[in-house]
Every structure is written in C-alpha cells, then in structure tokens.
Amino acid sequence: MKIVVGSDHAGHALKELIKNLLSKRHIEVVDVGTTSEDSCDYPDFGKMVAEKVSKGEFDRGILVCGTGIGMSIVANRFPGVRAALCNDSYMAQMSRRHNDANVLVMGGRIIGPGLATEITNVWLDTSFEGGRHKERLDKIDIPLSSVG
C-alpha cells in the first residue's frame, strides 16, 4: 500500500506522528508538506494529496488541518476521491466498511495523538464490504464524461 500525506501548519505535528506510525507498519508513505508549523494555506496541500489519489498514483491519502473540515471540502472535489473526516474509531471503521473512503481526514486541533493513532490503525485495517454499499457509491460517482 502506498499512502500520500499532507497537512497545513495546524496539522503538522499530527501528520508527523502519522508518518511515523505508517513507517512502523511498513507502509510506503510520501509527504507532500507542509514541513513546519509556519502559517500556510490548507488548500495547497489538500489539492496535492487528493490529486495524487484521484489519478491513482497512491492507494490512499491522509490529510490533517486544524479541524479537518477544510481538507475534507478540498479533497472531495476531486473525481474518485472519497475523503472522510473521522473524529473517532467508529467513524474510521464505517468510512472504510460502507464508504470505501480512500482519504482519511483528521483535525489536529480536535483529536490528540492517542486517538489519531487509533483512528489511523482502524482505518488502515478495515476493508470495504462492497455489495449494497458499492451500489450506493455508484450513485455518487459522476462519470467525467457527464461533467460539463
């Protein structure tokens, strides 16, 4: 599995923790930034992660900003991206099981390191159930040919 991660300044510390977790799990991880807690614009990093997942360059992505709301909005504008803002492990589990979320989003000012670790592990370890859930996702995905 290849995962691309990104954050703004408010999510930088949590992103670094997540990168360490992914490395310990022997998951290939690429960090597109930011590289510090200096103020920056979350859309710049959200776009980089979402674009790479949308193009199939990475299996999944993880984004962190202050609340997770802004990154979720950015990521979900890209075709084929199903970004889920998760504030607990149940949300992480269901985002994968029922929604096949391929981008995990968390708020660095909302959750702490212990909970972020738990959420990430659950999200990584949960499989998509398919079946009726796949049929529902098919109703959401808009073919690029129909976008005018």
Catalytic site residue 98? yes
Residue 99, helix vs strand vs coil: coil
The single residue listed with the structure tokens 């995990």 is 104
Residue 25's contacts (CB-CB under 8 Å, 6 or more residues apart) are 124
Candidates 9, 12, 65, 86; catalytic one: 65
With beta carbons less than 8 A apart as the criterion, state whether 87 and 111 touch.
Answer: yes
Q: Pick the catalytic residue from 9, 12, 86, 98.
A: 98
Residues 6+ apart with CB under 8 A from 144: 79
Q: Is 9 among the catalytic positions? A: no
- Looking at the annotation, which residues are catalytic? 65, 98
